[in-house]
């Protein structure tokens, strides 16, 4: 459990409340926009819940073929499930897979059924999709049972370590060895560029540049391997992957079906750093977060990335703004505090005087603003120079800042960051660094109290004030951004407010996969996710409610 950090910054509660009010005002028009639209990936994710898997001989998934066929014939704006289950009931095919195969060659005619035909189709679709949601519920219950059996790590922060060989069969032994060396969370980083694929590859994969493809089979294989490690080590080892990019809803669904425990899921990362259309991203992220909420998955947000393209001191307030927006979007989608792994990073230029004190101020600000959230603390990357000795020292300071400020999830920094893909020996040294600092100074969070009105308190309040000012500009549209957009947050994104990236909502990858919902739009997955609560055991409920206490 995360040590409870005293309210040692003495922040003005009125200012904190105003920050959240402004985040809600800025975010609500975007939520309204997301609720009014659907995307090809949302519809494909719904079919995956209904059990449609597999791909053709060119590795194009059958869900892509089926959604494309429905969109071409009757449009996406009504949802795909009603015409698809109408076709099944009408005898076009005996099952979803056969229907998708026939549709891929133009062998099925879809229609928008009316009256009794529409009622029957929607009832059948809800039954089929409901089976997938029940599978997600069962996987959540399995996680609760295994945590009860094996136990959670005794110490916070949880140690988060990346594995990324490109070959899932090589990732598995590396992940298991990392767990033996002390890692609590294994993150299988994705192959570079997968976020820009508008389909999810099928099956286990053995090649990938700077990472391993996120597929349902790769998820299954790694989760099974880490279950073995959990049994061996007597603590539950968590698995992380990436629900981002053009297939965010589908990957979130696969993660729920295969019992992943954490997913990278940021509301703006794909917009800013992958040039994915803003509307596509916000629609997809809302659905994906609804799935995460149902599956009991902890999300990790990507505020650390802003500091790789903007100065970590001058842009510190944009991290706070993004955290507040991510919190609003997440809770609106059903996520709870214990699931909010809000991101921030140790990225201030170490040559700046008092850089460590500034890092402490920023880390404490995040910890105090979100006291119930398992914050994800990211290591230095931008100012790693290739000097491995200097890098190892910087990582030690990063680990110390995490210990002093009560962070919940600590990503292990590598001394060879920005030089080579880390060797196993690099990982061992990095884990030794973490273990030493946490063993020697893990309790400092109880003792560390910055002086009243001193450097750290003053800096934290300054960043919060700047964040409130920026949120006010965004919420009111008074910051000089393009006011042509009815959603002020989209105007701010278009104006380059975050990460110095200008991304207008009329451009970007994936826009052609967005459709405004018609009045008769139906999606049983959304209905079930919004109206039916997941079953939880008493032990699981107590663990979740006390997760960050």
- HSE at residue 434, side-chain half, CA atoms within 13 A, is 29
What are residue 300's DSSP bridge partners? Answer: 264, 341
Q: Report how far residue 292's alpha carbon sits from residue 126's, in angstroms, rounded to the nearest whole number.
A: 20
pLDDT at 130: 97
Q: What is the CA radius of gyration of the chain?
A: 23
Options 213, 284, 376, 485, the catalytic residue:
376
Other Cβ atoms closer than 10 A to 509 = 18
Strand ordering across the sheet containing 185-188: 340-341, 298-300, 262-264, 238-242, 185-188, 158-163, 409-411, 376-378, 343-345
Phi/psi for 187 (5° steps) reads: -105, 120
Q: Are strands 158-163 and 340-341 parallel, antiparallel or unpaired?
A: unpaired
What are residue 515's DSSP bridge partners? Answer: 38
Contacts of 526 (CB under 8 A, 6+ apart): 287, 290
304 a catalytic residue = yes
Q: Report how far residue 11's alpha carbon sits from residue 13's, in angstroms, rounded to the nearest whole number.
A: 6
Contact 515, 39 (CB under 8 A): yes
What are residue 160's DSSP bridge partners? Answer: 185, 411
pLDDT at 62: 98
Ranges of the chain with pLDDT below 50 = 1-3, 6, 480-481, 548-549
pLDDT at 545: 59
Pick from 68, 67, 116: nearest CA to 90:
116
Contact 464, 15 (CB under 8 A): yes
Q: Report how far residue 231's alpha carbon sits from residue 224's, in angstroms, rounded to the nearest whole number.
A: 11
Q: Report how far residue 372's alpha carbon sits from residue 544's, in angstroms, rounded to the nearest whole number.
A: 11
pLDDT at 104: 96
Q: Any idea which residue has 């505090």 for tokens?
A: 337
User: What stretches of 56-203 show up as alpha helix (H) in DSSP?
Assistant: 62-74, 81-89, 96-104, 115-150, 168-180
Q: Report how far residue 300's alpha carbon sits from residue 326's, in angstroms, rounded to the nearest whole number.
A: 10
pLDDT at 549: 44
Options 86, 171, 304, 395, the catalytic residue:
304
Contact 368, 8 (CB under 8 A): yes
Q: Report how far residue 86's alpha carbon sits from residue 376's, in angstroms, rounded to the nearest whole number.
A: 45
pLDDT at 277: 96
Contact 390, 351 (CB under 8 A): no
User: What stretches of 36-114 show up as alpha helix (H) in DSSP?
Assistant: 40-49, 62-74, 81-89, 96-104
Q: Report how far residue 518's alpha carbon sits from residue 53's, in angstroms, rounded to the nearest whole number.
A: 27
Options 160, 213, 242, 269, the catalytic residue:
269
Q: Report how far residue 110's alpha carbon sits from residue 125's, in angstroms, rounded to the nearest whole number.
A: 15
328 a catalytic residue = no
pLDDT at 479: 55
Q: Report how far residue 212's alpha carbon sits from residue 171's, in angstroms, rounded to the nearest whole number.
A: 8
Q: Report how far residue 464's alpha carbon sits from residue 362's, in angstroms, rounded to the nearest whole number.
A: 10
Which tokens in the block code for residue 549? 């206490």
Pick from 513, 377, 359: nearest CA to 448:
359
For 412-447, what is each residue's pLDDT tens digit?
A: 999 887 666 677 788 889 999 999 999 999 998 888
Q: Report how far residue 494's alpha carbon sits from residue 314's, in angstroms, rounded to the nearest whole number.
A: 20
Which tokens in the block code for residue 373? 């959230």
Phi/psi for 245 (5° steps) reads: 85, -160
397: left (phi over 0), alpha (psi -120 to 50) or beta: alpha
Other Cβ atoms closer than 10 A to 363 = 25
Burial class of residue 225 (count of CB atoms within 10 Å of its CB; 0-12, 13-18, 19+): buried
Q: Report how far residue 446's alpha carbon sits from residue 5's, in angstroms, rounded to the nearest whole number.
A: 7
pLDDT at 544: 65
Q: Report how far residue 2's alpha carbon sits from residue 29's, in angstroms, rounded to the nearest whole number.
A: 34
376 a catalytic residue = yes
Q: For residue 344, what is the DSSP state?
A: E
Contacts of 383 (CB under 8 A, 6+ apart): 347, 349, 350, 394
Q: For residue 246, what is the DSSP state?
A: G
Phi/psi for 514 (5° steps) reads: -105, 140
């Amino acid at each position: 459990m995360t040590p409870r950090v005293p309210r040692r910054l003495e922040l003005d509660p009125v200012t904190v409340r105003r920050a959240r009010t402004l985040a809600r005002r800025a975010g609500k028009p975007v939520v309204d926009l997301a609720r009014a639209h659907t995307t090809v990936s949302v519809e494909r994710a719904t079919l995956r819940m209904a059990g449609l898997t597999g791909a053709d001989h060119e590795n194009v998934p059958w869900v892509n073929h089926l959604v494309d066929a429905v969109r071409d014939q009757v449009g996406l704006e009504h949802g795909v499930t009603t015409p698809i289950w109408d076709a099944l009931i009408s005898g076009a095919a005996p099952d979803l897979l056969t229907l998708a195969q026939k549709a891929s060659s133009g062998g099925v005619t879809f229609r928008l059924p009316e009256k009794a035909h529409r009622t029957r189709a929607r009832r059948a679709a809800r039954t089929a999709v409901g089976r997938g949601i029940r599978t997600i519920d069962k996987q959540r219950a399995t996680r609760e049972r295994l945590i009860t059996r094996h136990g959670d790590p005794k110490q916070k922060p949880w140690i988060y370590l990346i594995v990324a060989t490109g070959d899932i069969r090589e990732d598995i032994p590396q992940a298991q060895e990392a767990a033996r060396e002390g890692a609590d969370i294994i993150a299988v980083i994705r192959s570079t560029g997968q976020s820009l694929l508008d389909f999810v590859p099928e099956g286990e994969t053995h090649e990938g540049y700077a990472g391993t493809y996120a597929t349902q089979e790769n998820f299954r294989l790694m989760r099974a391997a880490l279950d073995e490690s959990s049994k061996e080590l007597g603590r539950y080892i968590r698995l992380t992957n990436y629900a981002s990019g053009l297939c965010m809803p589908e990957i979130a669904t696969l993660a729920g079906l295969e019992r992943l425990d954490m997913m990278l899921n940021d509301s703006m990362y794909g917009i800013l750093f992958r040039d994915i259309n803003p509307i596509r991203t916000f629609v997809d992220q809302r659905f994906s977060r609804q799935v995460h909420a149902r599956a009991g998955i902890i999300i990790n947000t990507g505020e650390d990335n802003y500091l790789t393209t903007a100065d970590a001191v001058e842009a510190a307030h944009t991290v706070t703004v993004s955290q507040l927006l991510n919190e609003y979007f997440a809770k609106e989608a059903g996520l709870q505090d214990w699931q909010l792994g809000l991101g921030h990073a140790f990225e201030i230029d170490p040559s700046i005087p008092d850089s460590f004190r500034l890092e402490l101020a920023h880390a404490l600000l995040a910890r105090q603003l979100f006291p119930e959230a398992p914050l994800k603390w990211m290591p230095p990357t931008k100012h790693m120079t290739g000097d491995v000795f200097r890098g190892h020292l910087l990582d030690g300071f990063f680990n110390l800042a995490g210990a002093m400020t009560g962070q919940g999830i600590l990503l292990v920094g590598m001394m060879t960051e920005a030089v080579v893909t880390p060797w196993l020996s690099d990982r061992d040294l990095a884990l030794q660094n973490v273990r030493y600092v946490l063993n020697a100074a893990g309790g400092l969070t109880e003792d560390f109290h910055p002086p009243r009105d001193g450097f750290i308190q003053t800096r934290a309040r300054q960043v919060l004030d700047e964040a409130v000012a920026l949120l006010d500009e965004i919420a009111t549209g008074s910051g000089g951004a393009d006011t042509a957009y009815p959603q002020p947050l989209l105007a701010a994104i278009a104006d380059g407010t975050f990460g110095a990236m200008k991304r207008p909502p009329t451009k970007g990858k994936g826009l052609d996969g967005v459709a405004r919902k018609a009045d008769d739009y139906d999606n049983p997955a959304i209905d079930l996710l919004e109206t039916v609560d997941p079953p939880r055991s008493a032990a699981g409920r107590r663990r979740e409610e006390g997760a960050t206490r």
